[in-house]
Each structure stands twice: as structure tokens, then as C-alpha cells.
Amino acid sequence: MSATAPVISAKNVWKLFGASPEAYLKSMPAGRSFDEIRTDGYIAGVKDVSIEVDRGEMLVIMGLSGSGKSTLVRCFSRLHDITGGTIEVDGQNIMSLSERDLIELRRNKMGMVFQSFGLLPHRTVLDNVAFPLEMRGQDRHDRRERALEVIKLVGLEGREEYFPRELSGGQQQRVGIARSLAIEPDIWFLDEPFSALDPLIRREMQDEFLRLQEMLGKTIVFITHDFDEALRLADRIAIMRNGAVEQCDTPDQIVMNPSTEYVAKFTEDIDKARVVHAKGLAKPVNGHALEGAPINGGATIHELARVLVNDNRILLPVADDKGVVTGVLERDTALNVLLGAE
């Protein structure tokens, strides 16, 4: 985790659905399982989750349907009031905010794209995208310019005057994405935003979010059920099950060191060499005498395949993007990832 304060900090967060959730949580025995809670007449949408999101990080939350991932993100933005625990955004306890302050927080700091597009049917694409800027009170000319810019970005140029009913589902989803981009938020909450897009546009939008994250340093919480998408986008992945986070770690660690049997099921069919980076396998130099040119720590083992096969060094220095050696990679360990252990 970063040494700086996290943008989002959730501690022991619960979201229970039922008749009197607060009273039940106070009287509930410690260690109560998801199924036992359900037997008591409640659903644990979020079950004792503690997690932080750093500034500029893309945290991908994934899990099967009903695992709690969407509920957790709605708690982050207080679209759901939590039953227990605390959530802070930029050090501010969002449960203590008045309705007016909460609206201002969402309007000025948060962009949201959910599975339901939420488009205004009587407004054109242009007006839908410009709507949050209008709510801000932004000048008509300025909001039109910004809306046109992001409409072009998501590939809807030429459809500015279309109404939602005249668009396909994928096109409607792109309008929702453009609307979230329009306000240039500090935090983006994205709930399976690419699920309705065809594969080519989906990959282009993934590329765009990676580019924007690198260029603008935004903080992104991204929900998906697609593990390949999670591996491609994430700085860290949180895998949820029955309202709880099973493991939260880097893609390299999720793939190489799943902490539970449930997490291991997500990784069993993954080509680890295409996911794991040299820096993810690197160990501290610890006084080792290193020879020869270093390898790029940001490269995957698959990308380094030819080097690993042909280079006879037992230990390979690993460098960051500035060429500074940050660790050492054991060639045999990397070959085991590439070719499989003997």
C-alpha cells in the first residue's frame, strides 16, 4: 500500500438486508457465517470488509453474481447506507455527511457508470453526456465542447442528436461511459461498464481507461466478472464471495499465490506466463553479484521468453522503467512459470 493516505478507506463494513439490520448486527455472535446469517432472516450483502484504495490506483472487484461486489461499490458512494463499520473518502466519513454535502461530493469527485444505463430518454446523446455539467452550472458552450470531446472518445461521433431509443445497448452503455468521463472525476466507480460492448470496442475502452489512468492518475474502482479483464486492467484485484473479500492483491500474486481454494479456481486455467511480470517474481538483490544487462521488470514472463531460454545467467537483474535495478530474478523460477515445473 501507498505511504500516502488512501482515497477510500473501508473498515469492518457490513451491509445487511433484513427487517432490523442494525439491531441484529449488534446482537449477532462473532464469526457468524453467511449461511447462518441467512438462516436468521438476513442477507449479508457486504460482510465485514476492510479495504483501502490508493490515489491513482485501479482496484478491480470481481466475483460471481451475488458475491457483493456491486453492493460494496454502492456503499463506497453511499448509494447504500452501511449497517456497520466506517467508510472514509479523502479522510471524510461519508456516513456523517448531510444529504446536500453528499450530493456535492458525488457531483464534484465521483463519476459512476452502472449496468443500468440510466439515460434520460427525452434527451439526445449530447444532452445526456452534458447533463452532469449542466447540474454543475457550467456554461452552455463549455459543456457542449466537453461533451463533444468525450462523445468522440467513446466512438459515438455523428450520433450526437440521437435519442437513447435509437441506439443499441452497447451504444447506450458508451453514452453512460462518456457521461462519467465528462466531469473529469477524481474517483470513477464502474460496474461492468463494458459488458454490453462487442470485443473490439471493449478492448479499445480498456485501452482508453489504462491510458487515462496513466495520464491523469485517477482513482478507479472497477467491477467485472471477467477474470481476463481484471488481470489486464488491475493494479490490485479484490475477489469477493458471499459478501466478503477472499483475497485482495496484485494480479501477479493472485495468480501465483492464491490464498484460498476459491481464489485458486479463478486462476487454474490462466496462462501464468502472460500475467506474471518479472518484478512480481523478483527478490531483493541482497548483495548478489549481478552481471550483464538487466531485464525489464514491467515485462511479462511470456514477453521475456526468448531471453529466458537463451540467457544462461542463473540470476538476472531486474530494472524499473528508469533502468534502476530493483531486484533479482532466478532464471529457473521464471522458466518454471513459462514452461511448467519439471
The full length of the chain comes to: 342
CA distances from 252 to 82, 232, 333 (A): 32, 11, 14
- Read off the C-alpha cell for 228: 481476463
CB crowding 313-324: b at 16 or more within 10 Å, else e: eebbbbbeeeee
Query: What does the mean pLDDT of the chain come to?
Result: 90
- The pLDDT of 92-118, averaged and rounded, is 86
Q: Is the pLDDT score of 11 beyond 70? A: yes
Instruction: Write the pLDDT tens digit of every residue in 312-340.
Output: 899 999 999 888 999 999 999 999 999 88
Q: How far apart are CA 112 and CA 183, in angstroms?
A: 10
Residue type, 150: V
User: What pLDDT is recorded for position 176?
Assistant: 87
Lowest mean per-residue pLDDT among 45-54, 68-77, 201-210: 201-210
Q: Is the pLDDT score of 166 beyond 80? A: yes
Which pLDDT band holds residue 174 (cuts at 50, 70, 90)?
confident
Candidates 229, 237, 224, 218; CA nearest to 180 is 218
All CATH 3.40.50.300 domain ranges in the chain, comma separated: 97-234
Q: Which residues pair with 223 in a beta bridge?
A: 61, 191
Let me know if 173 is exposed, middle or buried by CB neighbors in 10 A (0-12, 13-18, 19+): buried
Which pLDDT band holds residue 2 (cuts at 50, 70, 90)?
low
How many other C-beta atoms are found inside a 10 Å radius of the C-beta of residue 201?
17
Lowest mean per-residue pLDDT among 6-15, 19-28, 73-82, 162-171: 162-171
Instruction: Write the pLDDT tens digit of every residue in 256-287.
Output: 999 999 999 888 888 999 999 999 999 998 87
Q: How far apart are CA 188 and CA 235, in angstroms?
A: 15
User: What pLDDT is recorded for position 198?
Assistant: 76
> In the CATH scheme, what architecture does the domain 97-234 have?
3-Layer(aba) Sandwich (3.40)
All CATH 3.10.580.10 domain ranges in the chain, comma separated: 273-339
CA distances from 60 to 123, 128, 239 (A): 32, 27, 8
Q: What percent of the chain has pLDDT over 70?
A: 97
**Location of C-alpha cell 523460477:** 333
Which pLDDT band holds residue 91 (cuts at 50, 70, 90)?
very high
Q: Is the pLDDT score of 27 beyond 90? A: yes
DSSP 20-88: SHHHHHHHSPTT--HHHHHHTT-EEEEEEEEEEE-TT-EEEEE-STTSSHHHHHHHHTTSS--SEEEEE
Would you say 108 and 129 are in contact if contact means Cβ atoms under 8 Å apart?
no
Would you say 125 and 159 are in contact if contact means Cβ atoms under 8 Å apart?
yes
- The pLDDT of 182-209, averaged and rounded, is 81
Q: How far apart are CA 182 and CA 112, in angstroms?
A: 11
Q: Is the pLDDT score of 115 beyond 70? A: no
User: What is the maximal distance between C-alpha atoms in the chain?
Assistant: 69
Q: Which residues pair with 59 in a beta bridge?
A: 221, 236
The H or E element that residue 98 is part of is: none
User: What pLDDT is recorded for position 3?
Assistant: 58
Would you say 283 and 330 are in contact if contact means Cβ atoms under 8 Å apart?
yes
User: What pLDDT is recorded for position 244?
Assistant: 97
Q: Is the pLDDT score of 116 beyond 70? A: no
Lowest mean per-residue pLDDT among 33-47, 92-106, 205-219, 302-316: 205-219
Q: How far apart are CA 45 and CA 17, in angstroms?
A: 7
Q: Is the pLDDT score of 1 beyond 50? A: no
User: What pLDDT is recorded for position 24?
Assistant: 96
Q: How far apart are CA 21 and CA 14, in angstroms?
A: 10
Q: The whole model's pTM is what?
A: 0.86
DSSP 229-264: HHHHH-SEEEEEETTEEEEEE-HHHHHH--SSHHHH
CATH placement of domain 273-339: 3.10.580.10
